[in-house]
Amino acid sequence: MNAEGLEKTRRAGKIAAQCREWARGAIKPGVRLRDILETIEDTIRKEGAAPAFPAQTSRNECAAHYCSSPDDETVYQEGDVVKVDMGVHIDGWIADTACTVDLSGKPENQALIQASADALSAAIGLVEPGRPVSEIGAAVERTITKAGFEPVRNLTGHGLDQWKVHCAPQIPNYGERGGGKLAEGMVIAIEPFSCTGRGFIHEAGRAEVFMLVRPPRKAKGIDKDVLRAMQEWRGLPIARRYFSDLPTDAVEDTISKLARQGVLVRYPPLVEKEGVLVAQTEHTLYLGPDGVEIITA
């Protein structure tokens, strides 16, 4: 992390925090999910940055990766437990943050959200160079289970680097063995997920989030304009709605052919069992020479 990268990461963090707090107040029953996500992304662009990944809002048993399609008319419902997750980058330097909004007013749902937030605070309190990531995961697990819930064990926090939303180290949400240690200069995202179920998610539903992981082979049906538009994101995650100004058939054919080549990865929604509620809280941190800095505070 050089001085320029750190300053851009800090600016991205301020924009991400601004968008998160706006969403926290704007999410209400009857509001369309797509409007929240598109407003977040429009705000990021107006502030001179760009989305590091498509803004997402996942409800109830859906823990992550729900991203509105270009014509999604879904609205928030009274009783929902709503996650909103967003990333911002400036020249590839990324900040990532998330929060959960309760639309039920039920004390038990508010306790679930608080367990996630308390677990993040406990984790941040342990962050220092040389700290094993397993100890951070153990603190997350201990905090959430003490509150009467379970951590989602197959979702993790992660490192951040220029043009990379996910890199080493992985930050577990439970006390698994191994996993390495934190080091000075790292930028990491810690994101405890608490839930009312067993704490394991699986893929379900249509993917709206994709990532182009390497250049494709030439093939019939890969539209040059669509491919060029995807490549402009330099390997960052993208959404189908980013290409709504291009012909739908060309977009769909290109997505299918790139996926078959194995150069485009799909990210479907990640869900617990039906009826389970999941909460998420996330901050990006910088492990600097003078201590830990919460980039998205």
Residue positions annotated with a catalytic role: 85, 96, 158, 166, 191, 282
Q: How far apart are CA 56 and CA 113, in angstroms?
A: 18
Residue bearing tokens 């369309």: 32
Q: Residue 236, SS3?
A: coil
Our separate counts of H helices and E strands in the chain read: 6, 17
The answer to whether 282 and 85 have CB atoms below 8 angstroms apart is yes
Q: State phi, psi for 36 to the nearest 5 degrees.
A: -65, -50
259, 289 Cβ separation under 8 angstroms: no
103: nearest Cα among 218, 23, 204: 23
